[in-house]
Structure 1
């Protein structure tokens, strides 16, 4: 699935991000229909990468996750993620966003090999709308802190883990063979900058 990154010629905002058209993931890793679907949107204003994820269904959130705070192991519960790989190398980033705005990020130098020399971004801002009927989480990540990748020459995948404890896995990546595994940079697509 082709991922769109909307390009803004002005400073972005969470309100502008929320007004963008959203892309949908309607099938899980194994091709089963997902109802309701998961939605996402990406944008950049040249300084930040903006990410929105939403679903019209209540979420199960990591019990230690706090809005706007860094929290490891968010993947054990419902969340949205993105993976951005360098267009010509093995470096990539994983970014996790919980429905309540908690987040986690890690740079990798190769598949599942964390790059200990690159710290997680410091200036991440998040916003969320969380109700019994669904959620919408948004994040703003400084591009200059995503060392090792360039948004103008990258491969990108949006992913979700939903319906905890009976987790389902959704991704925009092309290769869905084998068991769910989002750490497949070769399967990420080149995004459309629009």
Structure 2
């Protein structure tokens, strides 16, 4: 079992940052992957769509507050982008290389996750089986990220690390966790 904690950092910018902290953990046990995000602080200042009664696969979730992670196959340019909206919507995209060959991952037809909101925290937990997309023996490189949109429409980008001059979650040199 591989169990790692994380703390995300905002991309350095001139935007006024909300008083937030994003922490969590990711666990791989055989081919079961669990990830938990906890957003702490001024939650009332974050733009959150109300939970949907019918969560579904949707595109462009990253244009609003969205928890994301990327799984890359070690020694391969291939990777997946997972998008999890606090409203309950989700999507998974497969890439052949850096921003190349983007396709919806058809092998995953559902991605249910649990969302719990308190006055000063929001917790999102996802637990799913990687078997449909990645063999159990395959080593993974992981990037964990989040897009936060505030009530004024300002967007901040959070990640384990920011390697470029602009916020870019797809850069493989930011896939720094090993599972």
- How far residue 185 of structure 1 moved from its aligned partner, in angstroms, is 1.5
Q: 1:124-163 residue pairs with structure 2 within 5 A?
A: 124-147=111-134, 152-163=138-149
The match for 1:48 among 8, 32, 37 is: 32
Summarize the Cα distance change of 1:48–1:93 in structure 2 as closer, same or farther, 3 Å threshold: same
| Backbone CA RMSD of aligned residues | 3.0
The match for 1:39 among 9, 23, 28 is: 23
Unaligned runs of 5+ in 1: 7-20
Tell me what 2:93 maps to: 106
Tell me what 2:157 maps to: 169
TM-score by length of 1: 0.74
Aligned equivalents of 1:82, 1:88: Cα separation in 2: 18
Aligned equivalents of 1:161, 1:31: Cα separation in 2: 14
Q: Is the 8 A contact 1:68 1:126 kept in 2?
A: no
Q: Secondary structure of 2:20's partner?
A: strand
Unaligned runs of 5+ in 2: none
Number of residue equivalences = 172
- How far residue 86 of structure 1 moved from its aligned partner, in angstroms, is 1.1
Tell me what 1:18 maps to: none
TM-score by length of 2: 0.79
Aligned equivalents of 1:182, 1:81: Cα separation in 2: 9
Aligned equivalents of 1:38, 1:107: Cα separation in 2: 25
Q: Is the 8 A contact 2:6 2:160 kept in 1?
A: no
Q: Secondary structure of 1:69's partner?
A: coil
Q: Is the 8 A contact 2:62 2:83 kept in 1?
A: yes
Aligned equivalents of 2:141, 2:69: Cα separation in 1: 11
Summarize the Cα distance change of 1:134–1:66 in structure 2 as closer, same or farther, 3 Å threshold: farther
